[in-house]
Chains A and B, each alone.
Chain A
Amino acid sequence: MIEAQGLTKRYGRTVAVNDLSFTVQPGKVTGFLGPNGAGKSTTMRMILGLDNPSAGTVRIDGRRYAEMKQPLRQVGALLEAKWVHPNRSARSHLRWMAASNRIPAKRVDEVLEIVGLTGVAGKRAGGFSLGMAQRLGIATALLGDPGVLLFDEPVNGLDPEGILWIRRFMHRLADEGRTVFVSSHLLSEMALTAQELIVIGRGRLIAQTSTRAFIDMASESAVRVRGPEMERLRGVLTGQGLAVRDVPAGDDGPAALLVPNSSTEQIGELAGRVGLVLHELAAQRGSLEQAFIQLTGGEVEYHAGALPGAGNGSPPAGTPAAPAQLTGPPTRGIQAAAADATRGGDAR
């Protein structure tokens, strides 16, 4: 179990992590989610005693990392795959790590076997591909057979096969009763990997919740509706107390109305009761990425471009490219609606 209490890190006048409190339970994969620059890595470094917090404490199973006698036996971490001397072999690297915590040398061969690096154990680590380096990092984390494991962006730069392998691997570790804490900036990846989520933006806690609840909350649905008599349609809908938004004509098609927090059944029946002709009636669900951007929108450290406006489906330069394992259906023009729905839940 990991417990953070009021964790804060300042670099000069910049506040990287701001009064962060959370707990990570054993037996589950807990995702640590936030945009780039949100303070995930800094938090992980503070958990591991590499960075000193400006305020607050973080304890692992009740103790600070620096108080542990042989920490590798209790906590395993993969913060960055390339923390290896490029001219040192994988086996030498694991050998000195093991020796430092009196872990028997035969464990080195065991973990090499687990991650499938036995064949290249004698090769210099500098020549490893990113996937191999990532596996070596995981081998390092597993060296002391620890009950608590931390992974910082473990799937970054991996091919689909590697991503699947790591995901299954983390599930297995959690099923064995270990505490697994894994950071990512990809909600879609976390949706498949984590059962619990801790979401941060600009160093502040946005939510700690189960992944399912977070996704339901984040990606609220809306209904897109269009007909020849738009003004009458609008009147009927607002007459029922529904919020209605104009979607101007664009790439998605002609002008339409967007009704958040509604269903196609409800709107279809409303229109039918008053004899309105409809040309389009479609449910829309935001992709996890876009919902995530909305949730953390005010909390993103580095904007590369403007966020998209309502009704404009083309993603702007600043939107992270959707990865291959996209779980949400494609979306059109839901950003503004989702923003309204979630703004109230903002940490500020």
Chain B
Amino acid sequence: MQQFFKTFKVAFQAINKNRSRSLLTVLGIIIGVAAVIMTISAGEGATLEVQKQISGLGTNLLMIYTKTEHRAGAHVRMGKPINKKDFDMLQNNSVWISKLSPLIVDVAQAIGPNGYKSIAIYGVSDQYFDILSRDLASGEFFKEEEVKTAGKVCVIGKTLKDELFSDLDPIGRKIRIDKIPFTVVGLLKEEGKGAMGQDQDDIILAPYTTIQNRLHGHRRGYDIIMASAINENHIIDAEIEATELMRESHKILEGEEDDFEITTQIELQEITGNVTGILTILLGAIASISLIVGGIGIMNIMLVSVTERTREIGTRLAIGARESDILTQFLIEAIVLSLAGGVLGVVLGIAGNQIIYKITNFLIPTAPYSILIGFGFAALVGIAFGYFPASKAAKLNPIDALRYE
């Protein structure tokens, strides 16, 4: 053990004597580790952001829609459309679902006092706001009464408000949607970009009855039924129950396949989690390559160092160093170099994440496990790529080494 400390000191002296070369050697590792940390953290950051957006959709969300299949490049509806019968079936019989809202999506021209825009209109019930847990910046949501009477009222998002009203207060004012005047009753609180990059504030919400009956003639079906389970623990129960009720409503016989699909919040999170997870692994793998390149750099320099110091090695062997002493010395040199690179790389990686945050405002929380991976990999690289030069040094014949020119 005491001998190990002595050898450690010797290795440290050797590194110190070749400071600039050591630093250059380490540079490869520094960049590699920093790259690993930054890419993994970026991937994690993106995952977190997406997860946050998805949970922002509402915590216990279920979406029920007609099954579609991809045929000849287009989505083709495969089952019966979803309609009021299905909605009533769920409404009247469900135990695990607390809130329900149809969703009808339409596109129309909206004209306000200060501008106009072609925009997506969501026809929903008053419960929709609860299901998606959206808040208001001002005004109020439309009421059940207005849904029943197909009232010409709407709630709009911030982006649309800016285009149609500029600085005017939209509450109580009218906008024309395909020539029909709607009164704005509420302005949604800004939500920002959604999970898939869509602007969640570029939106009009109106009673679905109004959309069905007044806009574009009569539409019977719904695009989606949005529902929320009574709480997060019963999403699965709600899904099973909804499936049964939907099968009953669609009169699907036992053994036949569903002609609808139900997606839950959990599934959404899993899907996007998978995608971003793959992304993280991919980025990390690419960054790891730079670490391996850094390791080869260490091996290269260590080999040069062994050749350059052949006579030194010969001298050490002649005056009583064991082969294992030489092996340990060079191995320690390689490991110290790569660990130093690892430490500096961690610092650079964390700093890099902060710099990206300062510049782009995209928060990358440095994932602790990325530090472990980066640092561990650096140590591994040091041992793996340091061993070959070290054993080469230890196996030198002292007689030849002493006379090496």
Pairing of A with B: no
Interface residues of A (CB under 8 A from B): none
